[in-house]
C-alpha cells in the first residue's frame, strides 16, 4: 500500500470528467487500496479517483468515524449514476482534501438514489440520506469535474478567491502528500 499525492485546487485533473471503468483489474484494486490509505491518512470521509490523478469513475466513502454513523460501512463506488434527487434540499458545510482549510455552506438535495457497481462489478442501488447523501454528491461531482467551491453562494465565492489562489500557488502548508504540478497526471 502507498499514499498517493492529492491533487489540489487548480490541478487540471480535478476539472476533467473521468472515464468509465470497464473492468476491475489488478491495477484498479491497487488504486482502490491506495485511495483508502490516502483518504484515511488525511482524515477524509470521501475521495474521488481524479483527486489522486486517476482517470477512473470511482469514489470512496467512509463516514464510519463520524458521530452517529458508526454503522455505515466504508464503500467503494464504481461507475455511479444519481438516478433520483429529493425535492427537499438542505444546507451543510463542506470541505475537501483538494481544497485544504477551506470550508463553505452548500445547498444540495437532502437525499438521493444512487446506482453503482462494486469491486465485483455487481450492480447496486442505494437510497442515501443525511451525511452519506452529502458525501456521495460531493464525490459524484468530483467525477464530473465539479468542486464544492463552484456551488457556494456568490458572496462566499468572492471571499474564497484569495485562499483558493493560495492553494493554487502552493502557498499553504499541507498535512498530507499533495501534487506538485497543475499538470499532475498519475494514470
What's the rounded Cα separation, in Å, for the pair 89 and 1? 39
Q: Which stretch binds Zn ion (CB under 5 A): 67-75, 89-97, 106-114, 150-158?
A: 89-97
Q: Which residue is nearest to Zn ion (CB)?
A: 96
Q: Residues 37, 67, 139, 173: which is the catalytic one? A: 139
- The H-assigned helical ranges of 7-153 are 26-41, 130-143
Q: Which stretch binds Zn ion (CB under 5 A): 15-23, 26-34, 94-102, 116-124?
A: 94-102
Q: Report the nearest approach of Zn ion to the CB of residue 99 (Å).
A: 7
What's the rounded Cα separation, in Å, for the pair 65 and 135? 14
The angle at the Cα of 143, spanning 46 to 69, to the nearest 5 degrees, equals 25
Residue 58 and residue 48 in contact, taking contact as beta carbons nearer than 8 Å = yes
Q: Report the nearest approach of Zn ion to the CB of residue 97 (Å).
A: 6
Radius of gyration (Cα) for the chain, nearest Å? 16
Of 3 and 87, the one with the shorter C-beta distance to Zn ion is 3
Of 96 and 143, the one with the shorter C-beta distance to Zn ion is 96
Q: Binders of Zn ion: how many residues, by CB under 5 A?
A: 1
Residue 75 and residue 143 in contact, taking contact as beta carbons nearer than 8 Å = no
Q: Report the nearest approach of Zn ion to the CB of residue 51 (Å).
A: 6
Of 25 and 105, the one with the shorter C-beta distance to Zn ion is 105
Please pick, from the candidates 45, 77, 96, 133, the single residue that binds Zn ion as defined by CB under 5 A.
96
Of 35 and 96, the one with the shorter C-beta distance to Zn ion is 96
Q: Give yes or no for residue 75 binding Zn ion (CB under 5 A).
A: no
Establish whether 175 is a catalytic residue: no
Residue 147 and residue 14 in contact, taking contact as beta carbons nearer than 8 Å = yes
Which triple of cell numbers denotes residue 26? Answer: 489488478
Please give the residues from 111 up to 170 whose contact with Zn ion meets the rule CB under 5 A: none
Which triple of cell numbers denotes residue 187? Answer: 494514470
What's the rounded Cα separation, in Å, for the pair 63 and 139? 13
Q: Which residues bind Zn ion (CB under 5 A)?
A: 96
Q: Catalytic positions, please?
A: 139
Amino acid at each position: 500500500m502507498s499514499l498517493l499525492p492529492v491533487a489540489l485546487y487548480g490541478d487540471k485533473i480535478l476539472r476533467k470528467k473521468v472515464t468509465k471503468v470497464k473492468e476491475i483489474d489488478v491495477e484498479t484494486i491497487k488504486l482502490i487500496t491506495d485511495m483508502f490509505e490516502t483518504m484515511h491518512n488525511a482524515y477524509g470521509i470521501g475521495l474521488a479517483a481524479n483527486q489522486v490523478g486517476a482517470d477512473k469513475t470511482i469514489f470512496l466513502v467512509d463516514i464510519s468515524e463520524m458521530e452517529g454513523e458508526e454503522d455505515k460501512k466504508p464503500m467503494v463506488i464504481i461507475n455511479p449514476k444519481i438516478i433520483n434527487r429529493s425535492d427537499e434540499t438542505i444546507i451543510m458545510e463542506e470541505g475537501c482534501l483538494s481544497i485544504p482549510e477551506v470550508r463553505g455552506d452548500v445547498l444540495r438535495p437532502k437525499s438521493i438514489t444512487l446506482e453503482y457497481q462494486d469491486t465485483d462489478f455487481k450492480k447496486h442501488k442505494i437510497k442515501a440520506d443525511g451525511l452519506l447523501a452529502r458525501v456521495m454528491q460531493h464525490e459524484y461531482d468530483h467525477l464530473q469535474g465539479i468542486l464544492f467551491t463552484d456551488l457556494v453562494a456568490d458572496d462566499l465565492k468572492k471571499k474564497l478567491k484569495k485562499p483558493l489562489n493560495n492553494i493554487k500557488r502552493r502557498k499553504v502548508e499541507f498535512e498530507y502528500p499533495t501534487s506538485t504540478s497543475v499538470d499532475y497526471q498519475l494514470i
